[in-house]
Structure 1
Amino acid sequence: MNHHTGRLAAHAARPFTLKISTALLLGAGLLSSASVWAQDAQAAADKDQAAPLTTVQVSGVRRAAQSAQAIKKNSDEVIDSIVAEEAGKFPDKNVAEILGRVSGVQIRREFGEASSVVIRGLSGLVTLLNGREVYTSNSRSLYLADIPTTMLQRVDVYKTQGAEMVEGGTAGVIDVRTARPFDNKGFSANIAGRVENRDKSKTNDPQVSGTISNRWTTGIGEVGALLGLSYQKGNYHDEVTFNSPPEKVLGAASPVTGPFDLGHVLYQGERKRLAANWALQWRPNREVEVFAEGWSTRIDHDAQRQFFVANLGWNAGSQYTLIPGTNQIATVTSPNSNPFSLSSTQAPNDDSETHQGAIGARWKVNEDWTVSTEFARTNSKWKEEFPILDFLASPPTVHGETYRNGGGYFTYPGYDMMNPANFRMNTLFDNWSSSHGQSNDWRADVVYNPGTDGFFREFSFGTRIAKRKASYQHESNGLIAVPAGGVPSVASLPGLSCPSMEMANDYGLAQWQTPCAGYLHTNLDQLRVLFGRPAGRQPADPFSLYKNQEDTTAIYGKTKFGFNLAAVPVEGTAGVRVVRTELDVNGFNGVYTDGVLTPIAVSKSTSTTDAMPNLTLKALLTPDLIARFNAGKAIQRPVFGDFNPGTTYNAGGGGTVAPTATGGNPDLKPIESTNVDLAGEWYFAPTGSLTATLFRHDFKNYVIRRSTFETVNGIRYLIDRPRNLNGGELKGVELAYRQFYDWLPGWLNGFGLEANYTYMKGHLDDEGVQTPFVNMSKNAYNVVALYERGPWSGRLAYNYRSSFVDTYNYRGLGFDLIVDPIKTADASITYKISDNVGVTLDVENLTDRTYNDYHGIASNPRDIRRYDRVIGLSLRWKL
């Protein structure tokens, strides 16, 4: 589901005083009781920037960097922020892309945009929207690319968590904060248009967004309103060529190993994403503020995946060569073997939408007491229609090379794969699935401020009650084999067969005939009848269906304190959050009776109570040199699907699908993590800092999914199920540097640099065996060269992450699937035509990167993937 929003035009060079700009930029969210921790960071940042000698004039990129630095410096927690250069203008196109620049955060880019996000190699994070929990259908978090950056005020990445923060993440918290009308002094409006060209999908896609906001003084007090709208259309083309896992190709006694199959996968998709946010604020007097706000997104994602699987036809007459110095196959030619050759089109069409609305108020009772409250409701749904049709061909001979031009290369001498008459229909997969999620969330907070003279500086207390429902189901008996009477020939059904997309690189077979994705959707009922099924989609598989209800009740207490240690001022917080979680799981399990699997309804209720203490200490060694210590406990609840008591069995067939099964575990416990951070931070200039953080996470009940072989009713299935592990640990260091070189002469003082590096090391304990963390790179760094002077601004960003494990014990074969280092470069340049109009040219995937992974060792490659290079041109107008 999702897209890149465009990088928009840079901020005007019109100067603002540091104090005023920061107060305006950081003022959002003061009403939301769900943002108490963010208020503290904002207030402290404003105080810091209002200090003497902070009259440096800044704008645009510098102002955003300075505001982000002030938030980090003054926060109680270990935090990194990215602040808008001006209303709705960020250096990247969606939230996931933005996060790829943050120290300790790694992302993956595929299917046209950045997608998965991990913090310090861990996926256990909480995504918040304006301090409130938000998610996509039955998941635990929000797909971050669904939020266009044009709606944002800033993004906060918390590596540690205070007692007042919503529980649920062992890696950290990502809080995405949208704009509010009281952020601006009066009327404000901006509109941005963007077109982006993608080289492999050969498309030019439009995007447009705008925000309008105003505030008025009326007879009932001050009133503000804001509305933001965004439309994005994006096409993409990903190209993959692959080797299947290595096997003994010449019999069990032979040392020679290699793939049985090579293949290509061409991905093409189009997303249309609509998003809107709105906010109303009312301040009847200086002591009371009331707000209502909401956010919605809808995504239509139509895609096709064109597969070609080339069996290498191993037999006694196969001729082969080896990779020098190994027992791995380099080339093979199998004459007169009639190898299995499959062309397949998968055609998923996804529709999803999420809506969240909230109302709340904040009342400053007197100089000592402040009370706030908020109620939020979230609704999300997702559905997918996913037909697949396979063609088979019968070429006499195949020639394959396991690693040519970086991937699998194969040809069929003397055989025309572009002739529809050379193919026949094989298997139809009639798949669909859907999920829903709803929640009601209420919280209240009380803050007591006794003053700053004593040891205790502030006390806060609060409660949160949330009720969440989630459900999921998919089709039953989706695999439909060719009936005994056969099916018509491919050539006899006009419009059924299409030429595949062309390969961008040379891997032998450049194009082939494949089922047309549009035909599969338009004529699906006709295909069902041809394959011996009645028209209409299959009923739901009862073993896939689950309905969960999760009720959580949390209370917290927290104090801020301060004292002098010798001549060094020390500030700190201490708190504890206690949460009670009650979970009702409803699904189906089954028993075999005379060879027939019969569904049996299963309901299970569980409850847990978790106490999460937290302590922070911040020593102000000098006004610009800070030492930090943070320690606390966090929990992470498994995703709802992992609790499903049922197991869905797919017996395979059609020559393409092996017997597999997927199940859940209603007895899973929450993951527990004890986290310690020790940091040193030197802020040597308003936009200059050097920081270092040592961190350690110790885990209990970590949840993993593992595949094992089990025989059920005489069939050997590869079954994937989740379970808790004994424990694990992760430790590492983060280093970060930021500076603008204002002291350089002339045009050179427009240059700046941001750089960060993260080192991580860790393992999980699986019954005494150490296993790796999935998605954890030991080394990762970002280097961003910045320039801003007069009407010009620009950036050149390079991102590197070292190799990591994608899948542990891949397909139960005893080795890990490992991804090679990923290197990404992006660039942009902006010119201010006037104070209100700017134009930006940006390039994503500047170096035309490739993604490579391999089966355990580098001489057993799996995929090489290539992605679009994107060139975007944006025009931005603002008042």
Structure 2
Amino acid sequence: MNDTGTGAVRPSRNLKMKLSVAALAGAGILSSASVWAQDAQVAAEQQATAATTVVVTGVRRAAQSAQAIKRNSDEVIDSIVAEEAGKFPDKNVAEILGRVSGVQIRREYGEAANVVIRGLTGLVTLLNGREVYTSRDRSLYLADIPTTMLQRVDVYKTQGAEMVEGGTAGVIDVRTARPFDFKGFSANVQGRVENRDKSKTNDPQASGTISNRWKGDFGEIGALLGLSYQKGNYHDEVTWNSPPAAVLGAASPVTGPFDLGHVLYQGKRERTAANWAFQWRPNRSLEMFAEGWSTRIDHDAQRQFFVSGQAWSPNTQYTLIPGTNQVATMTSVNANPFTLSSTQAPNDDSETHQGAFGARWKVNDDWTITTELARTNSKWKQDFPILDLLTSPPTVAGETYRNGGGYFTYPGYDMDNPANYRLHTFFDNWSNARGQSNDWRVDATWNPGSDGFLKELSFGMRLAERKASYQTQSNGQILAPAGLPAPGSLPGFACQSMEMANDYGLASWVTPCASYMHANMDKLRQLYGRPAGKGPADPFSLYTNQEDTSALYGKTKFGFTVGGVPVEGTAGVRVVRTELDVNGFSGIWTNGVLNPVAVNRKTSTTDALPNLTLKAMATEDVVLRLNAGKAIQRPAFADFNPGTTYNAGGGGTVDPNGNGGNPDLKPIEGTNVDVAAEWYFAPTGSLTATLFKHDFKNYVIRRQDFETVNGTRYLVERPRNMEGGELKGIELAYRQFYDFLPGWLNGFGLEANYTYMQGRLEDRGIESPFVNMSKNAYNIVALYERGPWSGRLAYNWRSKFVDTYNYRGLGFDLIVDPIKTADASITYKINDKIGVTLDVENLTDRKYNDYHGIPSNPRDIRRYDRVIGLSMRWAL
């Protein structure tokens, strides 16, 4: 038999078990120690099955391994496994997760970044089962992990008692390779170049991994080193409408945007990453390891804003969108509308490093003990100058919705002439953050080796200490003083805006050069009456927090038979005590001045998190599951900051606003139930359905509300707990390779999944939606693999969702239209060691649209790069 699947020859039960063991071992789900326990059984089968051994490679092997992980897991899980060492269909972890049922991603600023599970952001991301606490967040930023380092990615929809707490939505565990994952020497090198159509760049990327293992009197040792470099330029463009407002002078109530505008994003991101691992097995009972991971990101960007004030007045002429009271077109003559050009130029640098070492000791046939100690350090800094220009065209003509967005022109006025502009507000912004964590755990497992009810008992302890600090500048906004020079008189200051991909009226304008701003910051400070050097830190932004957690868990595995149906299950509880020490500043108004007052807040909570799983083998190929448990999610450290930073606004560009934290936040509690039915009709064929329900308490949202402080009305954003909420839905998934088809047709395969969700949050009798939750979402991936050729065509769709609840405190939600994404790739293997891949991201040149409450009040239309990548991979 040469193929796998549902052909005429059906794999035997023994062969299926052998394939599952091999797939799990290859994917790393079984450690070498657990494979030892099955050595005798597998060896006995080898002779009997030698004539029918199935060999699968590439895409099929990855699908088979992922399916075996899902089938054998106690939890509800979906996995993505490398086709070969370090070979995945996408270039970072966030992008490949977009193929998983129940997972949605958002792509902007040149890459996929934001990941939600079942519409929820409350997930914990782990690296090799451990937290990577960063300076700004509790979790690993998934886009920072190049896929060339990976062995697999596991997406847990439910949590076991032994798993690190923190994910009410789920857990994403990113697994990097170790040297014992390979039979011996292994190495691969990959080079790639990306062409991006809107940024008009060709960017290089390179990565490589080398691994080996040796045997001797010392036992067996292995070493692995991986390096990766990625450079990516990007160009995103946005045209926008401001929220609808009443049109002055209208005979009847008429609404229209007060402003229209453009935002052009250009950035360059350089990401360097490395991972290493060392394993030593002095004997069959003991294994020790040390491993680490580091990444550095240098991200320089500029955002060119243009704001067109529509200058509504009694002599403004306008038309309405048919059937509405909303403005469609307008023309205002001799109105001197507020017209602003601005360059925002953030430069970000960040580093994260993690090291860990541990051991696994098989004490005897019944007991196994594991332990691990990890240390993480991270730092981030940002310089973020903003400089505004004003101009005064006498006439403006606009359309609120043309080519999908706002359209405006200035008849008879040269917007490309620097002489028509003057310097306006200057923002001298900077921020930095640091984070450290120490994490130690020990686990013990007792396996009685019997066929009785009790199959396994495990328990363990984890201690973790996390520290974080953050600060930003004080009074970074500087209004324009009198006597500023003309922009055209400053050599190198004025640039023409970037080219736009579509026609929205104004095609180009004058804007400050980002390179000039960074090179001449002290000169700009001098022009605006500030001393040289960065300004002092805002005390209300400063916080230093420490969080200590101690956790104990116990878990048992059991099994029994009901009516001839085998049932496996687990029951466990995790008890976590959290102690939080928050230090920051609040404020007291004295004689009209807000003075900082130091605040220290210490809190502690103890949470018990029970978990139960049941898995029934209804038939040889059908698995039924029930999973129920409780989870908690702690808010981000910045959310606890007791300070509030107030911005007085002014200059026509910024309204009075504020941003603050809430030291009294409670952790989010989630009670989760999943019921699943899974049919595995072939080694790479399955049909699964999962019903889920999440009930929440103390769910945290960030929202904007107006607050009056010392007589001034500020729009302040801060986090707060909601009283309750629920989310429920269903996930359906299908996978199959059509090996039973004749000839070249048996190379085809299909993966498809669909998720339906509905949910709500409640607080004081008021319901609000979950942000980022699409009611409907699906993925379809067409696969092909035969001979040296393999390829895939992937299409992702998600329905509309709420981006921001109660947008700007105006009483309506900001809603995002359905998002559609298509990607494709094709690979040709020149020989067993060399392969070439051509891939296209954003095949259909997707557009992102959102609107203010109703579709006829649009906000943004966004366009992104189409990326064509060509890579060559050499594996030794």
TM bracket, shorter-chain basis: over 0.9
Give a deviation string over 1:697-747, Cα, whole Å, max 9, x none.
000011111211111122110011111111000000000000000000000
Contact 2:133 2:437 in 1 (8 A): no
In 1: Cα distance, 2:427 partner to 2:665 partner: 32
Tell me if the contact between 1:28 and 1:180 (Cα under 8 Å) persists in the aligned partners.
no
| TM-score, normalisation: structure 2 | 0.96
| Counterpart AA for 1:668 | L
Aligned partners of 1:273 and 1:299 also within 8 Å: yes
Q: Could you say which residue in structure 2 is the equivalent of 1:650?
A: 647
1:209-228 matches, cutoff 5 A:
209-228=207-226
* 2:110 alignment partner in structure 1: 112
Write the letter of the residue equivalent to 1:800. Answer: W
Corresponding position of 1:660: 657
Q: 2:273, 2:293 within 8 Å by CA — same for their partners in 1? A: yes
Tell me by how many angstroms 1:135 deviates.
Answer: 3.0
Unaligned runs of 5+ in 1: 1-15, 33-38
Between the two proteins, the alignment pairs up a number of residues equal to 855
- Displaced runs of 4+ in structure 1, greater than 6 A? 46-54
The separation in 2 between residues aligned to 1:334 and 1:861, in whole angstroms, is 21
Are 2:24 and 2:65, in contact at CA under 8 Å, matched by a contact in 1? Answer: no
What do the CA deviations read for 1:352-394 (whole angstroms, capped 9, x no partner)?
0100000000000000000110000000110000000000001
Match of 1:267 among 260, 265, 268: 265
1:624 and 1:863 map into 2 onto residues whose CA distance is: 49
Note if contact 2:24-2:69 (Cα within 8 Å) is conserved in structure 1.
no
User: Which residue identity is paired with 1:832?
Assistant: K
CA shift, 1:75, in A, is: 0.3
Report how far residue 49 of structure 1 moved: 15
**Closer, same or farther in 2 for the Cα pair 1:49/1:717, shift >3 Å?**
farther
Question: What is residue 85 of structure 1 aligned with on the other side?
Answer: 83
In structure 1, the residue matched to 2:13 is none
Determine the structure 2 residue equivalent to 1:26.
27
Q: 1:95 to 1:487 in 2, by over 3 A?
A: same
The question of whether the paired residues in 1 share the 8 Å contact of 2:25 and 2:32 is answered with no
Match of residue 369, structure 2, among 368, 371, 377:
371
| Closer, same or farther: CA 468–854 of 1 in aligned 2, 3 Å | same
**1:633 has 2:630 as partner:** yes
CA distance in 2, matches of 1:222, 1:593: 70
Report deviation, 1:47.
Answer: 8.7
User: Match for residue 440 of structure 1?
Assistant: 438
State how far apart, in whole Å, the 1-side matches of 2:159 and 2:250 are: 54
Correspondence for 2:506? 509
Shift of 1:43: 9.3
2:782 to 785, 806, 817: 785
Measured in 2, the distance between the counterparts of 1:638 and 1:521 equals 35
Structure 1 residue identity aligned to 2:657: T
Q: Which amino acid aligns with 1:449?
A: N
Aligned to 1:36: none
Contact 1:377/1:440 (CA < 8 Å) preserved in 2?
yes
Deviates more, 1:243-252 or 1:161-170: 243-252
1:452 offset after TM fit, Å? Answer: 3.5
Contact conserved, 2:25 with 2:31, CA < 8 A, in 1?
A: no
Matched, 1:839 2:836: yes
Contact 2:343 2:386 in 1 (8 A): yes
Of the three residues 618, 622, 625, the one matched with 2:619 is: 622
Helix, strand or coil for the counterpart of 1:57? coil
Matched AA of 2:434? H
- For 1:24 and 1:31, how far apart are their aligned partners in 2? 7
Match for 1:222: what amino acid? E
Out of 395, 400, 414, the position equivalent to 1:416 is 414
- The residue correspondences of 1:724-803 to structure 2 (distance < 5 A) are 724-803=721-800
Whether 1:578 and 2:575 are equivalent positions in the alignment is: yes
Q: After TM superposition, give the deviation of residue 29 of structure 1 in Å.
A: 8.1
- Judge conservation of contact 1:696–1:732 (CA < 8 Å) in 2: yes
Question: Quick one: percent identity of the two aligned structures?
Answer: 79
For the residues of structure 2 that align with 1:194 and 1:618, how far apart are their CA atoms?
A: 44
- What is the deviation of 1:566? 1.1
Rounded to whole Å, the distance in 2 between the matches of 1:66 and 1:677 is 24
Matches within 5 A, 1:811-826: 811-826=808-823
Amino acid at match of 1:90: F
Mapping for residues 388-403 of structure 1, pairs under 5 Å: 388-403=386-401
Does the 8 Å CA contact 2:375/2:436 hold for their aligned counterparts?
yes
Q: Is residue 344 of structure 2 the alignment partner of residue 343 of structure 1?
A: no
- TM-superposition CA deviations, 1:110-136 (whole Å, max 9, x none): 000001000000000000000001133
Aligned match for 1:57, one of 29, 49, 55: 55
* Counterpart amino acid of residue 111 in structure 1: Y
2-structure distance, mates of 1:130, 1:30: 13
| Residue aligned with 2:96, SS | helix
SS of the residue 1:638 aligns to:
coil
**1: CA distance between counterparts of 2:28 and 2:145?**
21
Does the Cα contact within 8 Å between 2:846 and 2:863 map onto a contact in 1? yes
Return the alpha-carbon distance in structure 2 between the equivalents of residues 243 and 535 of structure 1.
38
The one-letter amino acid of 2:27's match is L
Pair 105,537 (structure 1): closer, same or farther in 2 beyond 3 Å: same
Q: Which residue is 2:467 aligned to?
A: 469
Q: Specify the SS of the correspondent of 2:618.
A: strand
Name 2:285's counterpart in structure 1: 287
Partner of 1:66: helix, strand, or coil?
helix
CA deviations on 1:617-637 (whole Å, 9 max, x unpaired) are 000011110100000000000
The answer on whether the counterparts of 1:29 and 1:180 sit within 8 Å (CA) in structure 2 is no
Q: Mark the CA change 1:316 to 1:179 in structure 2 (over 3 Å): closer, same or farther.
A: same
Measured in 2, the distance between the counterparts of 1:233 and 1:147 equals 14
Question: Does 1:518 pair with 2:515?
Answer: yes
Report the CA distance shift for 1:19/1:757 in structure 2 as closer, same or farther (over 3 A).
Answer: closer
Q: Secondary structure at the match of 1:421?
A: helix
- Structure 1 residues 206-230: Cα deviation after superposition (integer angstroms, max 9, x where no partner): 0000000000012211010000000
More displaced, 718-727 or 545-554? 718-727
Inter-CA distance 49–201: structure 2 relative to 1 (3 Å threshold): farther
Give the aligned CA root-mean-square deviation in angstroms: 1.8
Alignment match, 2:526 = 529
Amino acid at match of 1:583: L
Corresponding residue SS for 2:726: strand
For residues 487 and 372 of structure 1, the distance between their equivalents in structure 2, rounded to whole angstroms, comes to 67
**Aligned pair 1:591/2:592, yes or no?**
no
Q: 1:248 aligns to what?
A: 246
How far apart are 1:137 and its partner, in Å?
Answer: 1.2
CA distance in 1: counterparts of 2:434 and 2:306, whole angstroms: 34
Aligned counterpart, 1:11 = none
Q: Report the 3-state secondary structure (helix = DSSP H, G, I; strand = E; otherwise coil) of the residue aligned with 1:56.
A: coil
8 Å contact from structure 2 (residues 134, 436) kept in 1: no
The superposition leaves residues 190-221 of structure 1 with CA deviations (integer Å, 9 ceiling, x where unpaired) of 00000010000000000000000000012211
Shift in Å at residue 252 of structure 1? 8.9
> In structure 2, what is the equivalent of residue 203 of structure 1?
201
Closer/same/farther in 2, CA of residues 729 and 48 from structure 1, 3 Å limit: farther
Aligned residue identity for 1:291: F
